[in-house]
Every structure is written in structure tokens, then in C-alpha cells.
Structure 1
């Protein structure tokens, strides 16, 4: 039996996170390895220094391999950055008159028609995600296979990225001696880990606030409607603290993590922070309320930008499930109240759901993308298909399996 191991690599602006998951006989995903390393060589989710990025990825991989005892050779890799764009497109095809029953080939043809949108030469398609189907005018169909009809329509969500940014990320992962199973948009991955059943049907906005970017994904009717990446994240909060309090970025980051809060009204005026714990030669005191005021201003600005994107989607006031906030910056105390007030929506913090194994150490918003990559891989991995129907293998199954085998030998 093929070893059922799945690996996810979250290549973030602040940290690189590698998770190793193993599927047990009961179908549960056990986390058997975790490797994190401070990220170098990325700015706002985009590679700006290949060698530094490769070194960071390799260090995180080494830690995950040591903890799990597994040799990592393939992985699902997250991608984000302000270069990401998305659009919705429709595709129409006629059903073959020989059978009139819709088969997988009809769906594939419709998706290809929807995919054939004009995009600039410097952009590349990352995902084409079917949102829903229409058969002979009947809407709201999630799976049309086996249905009878004359005309099939599919509505898709197409996500593209800058060719240079995509290829630089791929190059970094390959230089770390890892074969990429799939590139996955990070808010899509995070949604797999933190959204509960029914939220995507009702209508929900996922806001993943990382170090360099804020990823937004809006879901309605059980499928993604809009995705966007904003070039603002936790690092800008740190930068504001460093400038406002005249501190180094490293000390500002520690101050944010240890004493940060998004609501100054909850902090007493005489609550002071002794900077000597971060800088031994410094005896200055900083009002914690002032720190909170700096953080609040940037967080309110961030959620104002998120609100604008929700308005652009046309779903302002039409998201009954509200907003789910995740990512490392979501761990700031008081951020939930700021989000609810600014967006005028019910809000909750999204943490990874249904984990086993080393789950306690990663059951935090900062690990949502990495966990989501494992779940994405679990749903798309080839070994599940091969184990379900080992007795029969069609021509396309052989081609797919041969392609994976061939990739292992081609640098």
C-alpha cells in the first residue's frame, strides 16, 4: 500500500511553515511533522530574493523531516501576493446527440470554454473553479453528471497571477528539492481549514491577515465568488509601532505580540511597558494604551479596505454568516470587535478544525493556510483515487500516473 503522506508548504512573508500529514485507516488526518522558520527573501507574498527564500524553505523542511521521520519529496504549496487577480467566466457547450446524458467530458469541455478568456501574456491561470452549472436553463445544479439535457453551462471563478511571481516561487521550491503537487491560492487553502459547514452556502467572507498581505475570499451558494489580495498585513502594524515609538522592527514586533491590543479603551492610562525586557540597556517606559492606539488605527484602516472589497463584490449586507478572520494577525486581542464594528457584520476568529496528532501546537489562526493545504491535498491526492478503484485503470488514469512518475525524473 502506498504511504499516505501529504505535505503542505505555506511560503509566507513572515514565516515558512511546513506541515506533514498522514491519513490513518479511519480517514483521519494526523499531523506528524511541523517545521517553521522565519521567512527571508519575500515581500508582500512575492519572492524578491531567490537564495534567501530557498534557504528559509530548506530550513523549515529540515525541521519537519526531523520531527516526522519522513523524507519530503512532494508538497502542496500556497501562493499569494498582490499580483493575484480573479474574475468570473461562463462556458457553454452542446451535449452530444448520441446520448444526451451529461458525462465528465461534457463538464471538461464547458470548463475549457470558460477558461478561454483573454488574459495578458504576462499572466498565468492558477485555478479554474466551477461555481455551479445550468442544464437547459435549470439553475442551481452542483453536479450535472448523469442528467439529461441539450445544453450545459458552467460558471467558473478564474484566478490568475503574474507569470514572473509564479515561476520564481516554483523555482525556489524546486531548488529546495521539492516537487510541487499543486499551487493553491492561500485564501482557498485557509477556507478549507476554518470555514464550517453551511457558512459558504449562507454567504461568508474569509479574511486571512498574514504578515505581508491580507487575503479575502467571498463565498456564496457553496462556492467562491470573489478573491482578492490586499498589499497590507501585520508587518505594516509592526512598522507603525517602530516609527511611532522609535524602536527597531524586531523590538516593535515583540512588543506587538506580547502587549498588543486593538482596543485602547480596555487599557488603563497607568498601564506601562518596561522596554528593558526587550532592550537591556534601555530603561524607558511606554504607555500600553499608546501602543494600542497605534495598532487600532492600522487595523481599522485594514478592515476599511476589506469593507470596500466586499462592496465591490456586490454582497455588502448579503453575508449572513458574516466574516471569519484568520492568519497570524488575527491573534491580536480585540481584533474581533474592530472587525465587527468596521464591517457591520458578525465576526469570529477562524482556527483549524478537525485535527489530530500534533494538533495542539498548530491549532491557531497562524497555521490556517498550512493546514488548509493538507486538506486540499487530501481532497485532490492521487492515492485516494488509486486505492478506491485499484482493480480497473482507464487510459487517462494511466496517463496521469505516468505523468507523475515522469515528473519525478525530470529536474
Structure 2
């Protein structure tokens, strides 16, 4: 089987690394061919802190995915998150030299390039510029300005910023594991692809992905990404609290959280206990489920309060920006009992649990239903989009130096200009992950 027929999503998380191999069936749904899973040993709060251990975990997950799918994995689409990711809103404009000529993609590209010149903090780099709404002269709230006439072109942008060092570490781990990184995708955006509907994005919705080391947030309104952020706390810190509060080992703390954990202490009876086996002949320990819920609830409340702060920063409580579709909770942390009710109470928005199997056609045993696979499936969907886009534009992919059909120039200088315009058009059509990969590849070429 050729790898070109299939796509692979690789989720490098804090607690686990998941590789999913899949393809699109005739009905447009995703057919999962194989899944590989390995414990993540070299990642802390979404950031690689041990290269060799991360490489070993990636190899283990990919090997299992290859065995279960029967496909040789060469290219992967990888997610990026971590506490170093932040976003900001920025408005900018350009004055067009020829207002009589209609606005084209080159004008939008020029505006984006101007935004990329913003001065960031040391070590930071702009990795994504997302236009939201445009304004041409005095006319605002324009979503597609191409073809319009005007002198001043202005836009509001959602700018995503991250540490290039963290991006290069992920790229190195993937490369050392014998894989080619097809694209990098922001994990909250990948999760949103897997669990959100178009109607929710139109009405206004916040996806809250509670992972092992971080909680990723992405807010959509009018089908436009409005806000993204990463909170450096997740399910792992809840496990640590249980370990310290109950004086037990981490393995038992994780089992307690998964099997008996609850976000609402008032819903648990004080007289109900669970017994933890003692270590090396020591007596067993009894822990009240009410006490366990109090420990979990305190930390979950703190995380949800941070989510609330981000919602307020966006303006979700204003009438114009109100999130009609509320909140969608996903990620492994959303499996906690009574989490949805607590989220409703703290944020004031209706919430639901986002399951990742809505777009999967062959998940008969519900293996991928768990919200912990939302990011992995979202990355697979992003990889399939990239492959479909390449398949749909053969002329631009096959040959960069073919002049555009509408260009009728024979002279050498004009031909060069046409070639440059075609190359720029191809670059414009790259996804965020592909454009970011160009930077990463250029970095490695310079190092070598």
C-alpha cells in the first residue's frame, strides 16, 4: 500500500502520544485504518523537555499504528500547543497605490506581511496570521474584499505567537524518529475540527480541550476564529493533588481519578470509601469519595475560573460577542464526572462533552469515541485536507514556473515577474502548518 493514499495524525501530548492512520471514504467520512498509542515520557505541559524519550515514544506509537493498519508511515501532521503559545488581536492597514484597480490577493498578502513585522518578545515569532474582518475605505464588516475597489485596505487579525525553540524541538523529534513532518497545526484548532459543527462556529462557541498537561481554548464566532490560548494546567495536576492530598503513589492517584473522581463534592456521600492497597505489607488505606471529590473539585474550579477569565478577555459576556452555542468540553480531562454541571455553574454557559467519533465511519466498538482522541482525529482531518488540496491543484504542484493563463507576456523581464507571481500564489495557498514547516525546514538546512 502506498502512503500517499492515506494520512496520519500524530498527537504529541503530555500523557500520551497517539498516531492515527486514516483515509476518506466515498461518503466523505473518515475511515480509520490503524491506531498506535504510547506513554509520553519526554513532554511536560505540552513542551518537549527530553528529546530522546520523546523520540522513543513517537517510534513506539508509530510502530503500533503501522502494525494495526498495514501501512508504512512516512509523513505525519503534528499538533503544537504548550504554555508558550499565545494570541493577540491586531489591526493594520495599507494604502493602495492604484485605487482604480480592484483589490486582489496580492494586496491581502501585502497586508499580512506588514502584520508579520510586528515586534515580538525575545525568542517569540509570529506563526499564524488569521484575518477576521476587513474594511475598505469607510465600509466595514467585509469578509471577502477581493474584487472590490478602494484606496485604504484595513483588517482585524488574530495573531498566534509561539517560541520557535519549542517548534524546532518538536520538528527534531519527528525527524529523528524517521518521519517527515507534513504540517504543524495548533492543537485547539485541530480539536475544534473533530468536535465542533459549522452551526456552533457560526452561533459562537468555545472549545475547552482539557489535556494531561494543558487546557487549550479556541473561541469561534461567525465561523471565524476569535481567540486562542493555552492554560498550563490539565488533568496531570489534578492527579498530583490527589497524590499529595491522600498520600498515595501516582499510579493509584490516577486510577482513583479515572474510576471514582467527581467534580462536585456535594454529589458524593461521606460514608462511601474506596480502599487503596498498602505498599510492601503496609496496611491498606481507605479514602472517602467525598474527600476525593473535594480535592478534584478545588483544582477543576481553578481551571474553569481561568477559562472564565479568557472568555471575559474575548468579551463572551457582551451581547454582540455572546457565545450562543456555549462551551464544548473535550480532551481526556472532560471524562471527569459532573464536569459539565460545574462548567455550567462557573461560566454561566451551557456546555456539552465533545466526542471525537462524529466524523469517523468505522468506529463500531466506540474505541475512538472518548474525547481524549479529539486532537488526534482533528490532526488526521487536517492531514486529509492537505492531501485533498494537493490533489485538487495539480497544475500548481507539478510545476512552479508555469506562467498564469491570463498573463500574456513574452519579454524576459515580464516572464520572470509572471513566474514570481505564480510562486507567490502557491505560497499563499499553503496552509498554516505547511508555511510553518517551510520555516522549520529552512532552519534545519541552515544548521546542516
TM over 0.5: yes
Match of 1:19 in 2: 20
What secondary structure does 1:315 align onto?
coil
> 108-117 or 383-392, which moves further after superposition?
383-392
| RMSD between superposed Cα atoms in Å | 2.8
Residue 406 of structure 2 is aligned to residue 370 of structure 1: no
Alignment CA distance shift 1:310-1:391 (3 Å): closer
In structure 1, list runs of 5 or more residues that go unmatched.
Answer: none
Alpha-carbon distance, 1:280 to partner: 8.6
Alpha-carbon distance, 1:391 to partner: 5.9
Measure the CA separation in 1 of the matches of 2:379 and 2:395: 29
In structure 2, list runs of 5 or more residues that go unmatched.
Answer: 402-421
Q: Quick one: which of 330, 334, 345 aligns to 1:330?
A: 334
Alignment CA distance shift 1:203-1:7 (3 Å): same
Match of 2:308 in 1: 307
Alpha-carbon distance, 1:114 to partner: 2.1
1:87–1:159 contact (8 Å) kept in structure 2: yes
Rg larger in 1 or in 2? 2
Match of 2:123 in 1: 122
Alignment CA distance shift 1:4-1:277 (3 Å): farther
> 319-328 or 306-315, which moves further after superposition?
306-315
Give me the TM-score of the superposition, normalised by structure 1: 0.90
What secondary structure does 1:361 align onto?
coil
1:131–1:154 contact (8 Å) kept in structure 2: yes
Match of 2:418 in 1: none
- Deviation track 1:204-259 (CA, whole Å, cap 9, x = no partner) reads 22111111111112222221222111111111110111111110011100111111
Superposition pairs for residues 41-120 of structure 1, below 5 Å?
41-95=42-96, 97=98, 100-120=101-121
Match of 1:357 in 2: 362
Provide runs of 4+ in structure 1 moved above 6 Å.
277-281, 397-401
Superposition pairs for residues 6-405 of structure 1, below 5 Å?
6-95=7-96, 97=98, 100-276=101-277, 282-317=283-318, 318-352=322-356, 353-358=358-363, 360-379=366-385, 381=386, 383-390=387-394, 395=401, 396=422
Alignment CA distance shift 1:29-1:143 (3 Å): farther
1:189–1:376 contact (8 Å) kept in structure 2: yes
What secondary structure does 2:147 align onto?
coil
Aligned residues: 407
Alpha-carbon distance, 1:187 to partner: 0.8
Alpha-carbon distance, 1:78 to partner: 0.8
Alignment CA distance shift 1:258-1:384 (3 Å): same
Alpha-carbon distance, 1:170 to partner: 1.4
- Deviation track 1:239-286 (CA, whole Å, cap 9, x = no partner) reads 111111110011100111111111222222322212239999653322
Give me the TM-score of the superposition, normalised by structure 2: 0.83
